């Protein structure tokens, strides 16, 4: 955001003449300092804003919210204890599960530090410095260069900034673009790579209600788990952590949700939004839906197969249902129509102001480009879906790409294949073996191939899936790890059918990548011009779209009306969990929980609550704190009517779903007898 625009907002805010809507806005730490302190106080913030974020040091309580493998999490003790969602640590449970020792089903509690379970791949990043690098990134773009050249030059500059930043010992850096390139910020974090599982409830609690209740309210899910971060073999001592609140929350209370929202698309034009709907969310709902069916079918008689596909199935289910929710929400909320009306308004406003002539032209250009990309959109979707689909193909295409990237100088490689990424990539390739179950993979592959052939008959005509799975060594862990270090020539010499297919696909995947980069180069030029007009016309702070960077949303505990004649209260209790109990998955409360619940008035034990926070995917595990910065809960989901808030915030239905910290403490105390942990949380 340009400083000039911000100063104007700050002035408006100070004059008290701008209204912010409810919980709308995933604010950056810098923006928090620019919001009206009187407004924040009125909302319920009891701490000075400088406690949340100290601009001099570039840190504050907000930095107790950390990123854990694409989810959010919060430090909750001085000894590196981290609280996040059960579904965010699911991979670690899977890593340590066997049919004879099924931690997914039974849960896990480390009674001593020695019993904590290390994870091969989980990493935590803690932010420590944010620097505006907009000028440097923009200056890198060659004057008069085409869009591909522009993208490459800006990309190279960002890589150089990251490399410079990572010269500091232990630093992990990235450049994040805000508002499509209106602002670029270099974010320095440090990474903790020794993360050990401390506690996870049984799946029947952590995922109570399963796919039936996912994205739904009323909810009764204990979606939380704990890990501990270690540094040099010792528990890590965080600079900030969230103490547990003594009192819980009630309707109307102020809460803040801190975390790392992944991606929203509110800054897109209405035409671009329609493309997202038709070529991203819609195929996700149908294609992933079919893959889920195929995987379930292929594993129905195999407990080992079910463990293998558990994590993949979970994320496909989540994405498919999310896709359906986006489609339903867009229709119900008429979001794209509203965006269209709003941009017409901005276009008219800008048309009368010569200084925004570039904005008007940029908006038209964005729409023209969206129309041009539509022709290839379904094929592009299938290229991207390789990452979420058949592992054999994902691995083979990755190995082929890796071999061709590794011969280039580091700074010229695709970002994912730079030296700094290779240890991660290798870990991932190793870990994915746990998720491989051939009958399921083969079924999904066959489906992908059928769809792909319908779009493109050229490169896969004589490929026989069954034979390829019989002959390939890509799916053999030891062989694959050997392939990880091999050159293109060595890979070719293997005459492995899966690699051969990947070699034939490579030129297409490269062409797709170049088209995407060219498009991105154009968008980096056009979107900022358009957004300047949108923001200036709004005359108040506008939070940028989510981009997996640290944000905070200010909200209140609040119910909502999902449809005519129905009102939802914002809190559920243990009694509701018992009411849903049928003894059949996913509504089978474990006996230990039933016994503990029988000794008390379950209607007095809060379980989940709603707030009107502005959240999205990636906010899972976000600490939810009260106005004093004390932990009252843990975000884990949104309600069905609010899934499409990725396209726009609708105060009527914008509700996020949280685990109440009181339930967590009850479970640890009355069911698990986890005295040590309770002591550490200051809640014995």
Which helix (H) or strand (E) segment holds residue 607: the answer is: strand 606-611
In the complex, the smallest distance separating the C-beta of residue 268 from ligand ASP, rounded to whole angstroms, is 18
Instruction: Write down the residue that tokens 């088209």 correspond to.
Output: 515
In the complex, the smallest distance separating the C-beta of residue 528 from ligand ASP, rounded to whole angstroms, is 27
When the beta carbons of 29 and 618 are compared against ligand ASP, the nearer one is 618
In terms of DSSP H, where are the helices of 585-681? Answer: 591-598, 661-666, 675-680
CA dist., res. 198 & res. 683, Å (int): 17
CA dist., res. 385 & res. 57, Å (int): 41
485 Cβ neighbours under 8 A, 6+ residues apart = none
Per DSSP, what are the bridge partners of residue 172? 189
In the complex, the smallest distance separating the C-beta of residue 652 from ligand ASP, rounded to whole angstroms, is 17
In the complex, the smallest distance separating the C-beta of residue 380 from ligand ASP, rounded to whole angstroms, is 23
CA dist., res. 130 & res. 68, Å (int): 19
In the complex, the smallest distance separating the C-beta of residue 638 from ligand ASP, rounded to whole angstroms, is 4
When the beta carbons of 219 and 525 are compared against ligand ASP, the nearer one is 219
CA dist., res. 530 & res. 525, Å (int): 9
In the complex, the smallest distance separating the C-beta of residue 95 from ligand ASP, rounded to whole angstroms, is 19
For residue 114, the Cα-to-chain-centroid distance in whole angstroms is 31
When the beta carbons of 277 and 451 are compared against ligand ASP, the nearer one is 277
CA dist., res. 205 & res. 586, Å (int): 9
Closest CA to 623 of 260, 250, 259: 259
When the beta carbons of 608 and 620 are compared against ligand ASP, the nearer one is 620
Contact 255, 625 (CB under 8 A): yes
When the beta carbons of 172 and 638 are compared against ligand ASP, the nearer one is 638
When the beta carbons of 299 and 620 are compared against ligand ASP, the nearer one is 620
CA dist., res. 561 & res. 568, Å (int): 6
When the beta carbons of 202 and 617 are compared against ligand ASP, the nearer one is 617
Q: Provide the total of helices (H) and of strands (E) in the chain, helices listed first.
A: 28, 20
Query: φ, ψ for residue 48 (rounded to 5)?
Result: -65, 145
CA dist., res. 121 & res. 93, Å (int): 12
In the complex, the smallest distance separating the C-beta of residue 321 from ligand ASP, rounded to whole angstroms, is 10
127-156: burial string, b at 16+ Cβ within 10 Å, e else: bbbbebbbebbeebbeeeeebbebbbbbbe
45 Cβ neighbours under 8 A, 6+ residues apart = 52, 254, 256, 554, 627
412 Cβ neighbours under 8 A, 6+ residues apart = none
CA dist., res. 318 & res. 299, Å (int): 19
When the beta carbons of 26 and 406 are compared against ligand ASP, the nearer one is 26
* Binding site residues, ligand ASP, CB under 6 A: 615-620, 636-638
In the complex, the smallest distance separating the C-beta of residue 228 from ligand ASP, rounded to whole angstroms, is 22
Active site residues: 87, 223, 620
């Amino acid at each position: 955001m340009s400083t000039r625009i911000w100063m104007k907002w700050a002035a408006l805010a100070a004059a008290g003449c701008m209204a912010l809507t409810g919980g709308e806005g995933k604010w950056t730490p810098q923006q928090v300092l620019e919001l009206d302190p009187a407004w924040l106080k009125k909302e319920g913030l009891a701490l000075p804003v400088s406690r949340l974020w100290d601009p001099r040091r570039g840190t504050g309580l907000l930095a107790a919210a950390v990123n854990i493998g694409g989810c959010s999490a919060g430090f909750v003790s001085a000894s590196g204890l981290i609280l996040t969602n059960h579904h965010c640590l699911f991979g670690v449970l899977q890593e340590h599960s066997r049919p004879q020792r099924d931690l997914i089903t039974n849960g896990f509690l480390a009674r001593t530090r020695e019993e904590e379970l290390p994870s091969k791949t989980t990493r935590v990043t803690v932010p420590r410095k944010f620097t505006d690098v907009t000028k440097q990134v923009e200056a890198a773009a060659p004057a008069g260069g085409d869009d591909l050249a522009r993208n490459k030059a800006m990309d190279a500059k960002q890589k150089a900034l990251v490399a410079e930043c990572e010269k500091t010992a232990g630093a992990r850096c990235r450049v994040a673009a805000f508002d499509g390139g209106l602002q670029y910020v270099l974010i320095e974090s440090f990474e903790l790579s020794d993360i050990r599982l401390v506690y996870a409830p049984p799946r029947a609690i952590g995922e109570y209600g399963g796919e039936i209740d996912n994205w739904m309210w009323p909810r009764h899910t204990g979606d939380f788990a704990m890990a501990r971060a270690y540094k040099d073999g010792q528990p890590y001592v965080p600079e900030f952590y969230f103490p547990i609140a003594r009192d819980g929350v009630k309707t109307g209370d102020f809460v803040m949700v801190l975390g790392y929202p992944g991606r929203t698309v509110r800054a897109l034009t209405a035409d671009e939004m329609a493309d997202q709907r038709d070529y991203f969310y819609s195929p996700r709902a149908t294609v992933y839906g079919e893959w889920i069916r195929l995987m379930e079918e292929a594993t129905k008689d195999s407990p080992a197969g079910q463990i293998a596909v558990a994590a993949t199935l979970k994320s496909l289910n989540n994405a498919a249902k999310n896709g359906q929710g986006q489609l339903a929400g867009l229709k119900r909320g008429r979001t794209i129509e509203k965006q269209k009306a709003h941009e017409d308004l901005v276009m008219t406003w800008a048309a009368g102001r010569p200084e925004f002539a570039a904005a008007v032209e940029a908006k038209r250009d964005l729409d023209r480009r969206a129309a041009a990309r539509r022709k290839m959109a379904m094929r592009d979707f299938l290229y991207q879906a390789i990452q979420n689909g058949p592992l054999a193909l994902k691995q083979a295409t990755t190995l082929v790409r890796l071999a061709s990237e590794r011969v280039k100088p580091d700074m010229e490689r695709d970002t994912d294949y730079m030296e700094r990424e290779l240890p991660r990539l290798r870990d991932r390739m190793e870990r994915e073996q746990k998720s491989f179950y051939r009958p399921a993979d083969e079924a999904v592959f066959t489906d992908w191939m059928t769809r792909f052939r319908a779009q493109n008959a050229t490169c896969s005509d004589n490929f026989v899936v069954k034979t390829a799975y019989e002959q390939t060594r890509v799916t053999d862990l030891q062989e694959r790890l050997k392939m990880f270090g091999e050159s293109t020539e060595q890979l070719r010499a293997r005459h492995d059918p899966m690699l051969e297919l990947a070699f034939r696909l490579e030129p297409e995947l490269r062409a797709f990548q170049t088209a995407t980069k060219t498009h991105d180069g154009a968008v980096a030029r056009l979107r900022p011009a358009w957004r300047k007009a949108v923001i200036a016309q709004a005359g108040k702070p506008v939070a940028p779209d989510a981009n997996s960077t640290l944000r905070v949303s200010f909200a209140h505990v609040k119910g909502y009306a999902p449809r005519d004649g129905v009102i939802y209260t914002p809190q559920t209790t243990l009694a509701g969990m018992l009411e849903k109990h049928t003894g059949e998955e996913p509504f089978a409360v474990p006996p230990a929980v039933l016994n503990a619940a029988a000794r008390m008035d379950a209607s007095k034990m809060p379980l989940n609550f709603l707030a009107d926070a502005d959240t999205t995917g990636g906010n899972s595990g976000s600490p939810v704190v009260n106005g004093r910065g004390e932990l009252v809960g843990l975000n884990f989901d949104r309600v069905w009517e609010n899934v499409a808030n990725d396209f726009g915030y609708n105060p009527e239905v914008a509700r996020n779903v949280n685990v109440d910290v009181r339930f967590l403490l009850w479970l640890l105390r009355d069911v698990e007898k986890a005295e040590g942990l309770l002591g550490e949380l200051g809640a014995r």
